[in-house]
Amino acid sequence: MAANELKRTNINLIILAGCAGLIKKLPSVKAYGKVYSIFERSDQVGSCQFLIDRNEVTKFEEISINTGLSHGAFYKPKDEWVLPIKKWLKD
């Protein structure tokens, strides 16, 4: 939602299990810049591909993790998502 308000293409956006609910219901919400998405396979919140399909982001990468913790996988820092984020930011 913040990226939608900023409307800046020179931004790095990381989405952690965030492509559901309000974002799905509002097709006017757009992502900008470089987008990295991570979702948990056991969670109802899945891929952000639908969000990317309605936008013109400069780069999109997405991975899924499999901790079995559903949305709780993101409640505390876990190597499964922290390490890929560090690598993406470094690259």
Rounded to 5°, the CA angle 51-57-59 comes to: 110
Question: DSSP letter string over 22-33?
Answer: HHHH-TT----S
The pLDDT tens digits of the residues spanning 50-72 come to 999 887 799 999 999 999 999 99
Instruction: Give the count of domains, the chain.
Output: 1
| Contact (CB, 8 A) for 67 and 80 | yes
Mean pLDDT of 30-40: 95
Containing domain of residue 80, as a range?
A: 2-90
pLDDT of residue 17: 96
The pLDDT tens digits of the residues spanning 5-22 come to 999 989 999 999 999 888
Instruction: Convert 58-81 to b/e letters by CB count within 10 Å (16 or more is b).
Output: eebebeebebebeeebbeeeeebb
Q: Which one, of 21, 7, 5, 22, lies nearest residue 57 by Cα?
A: 7
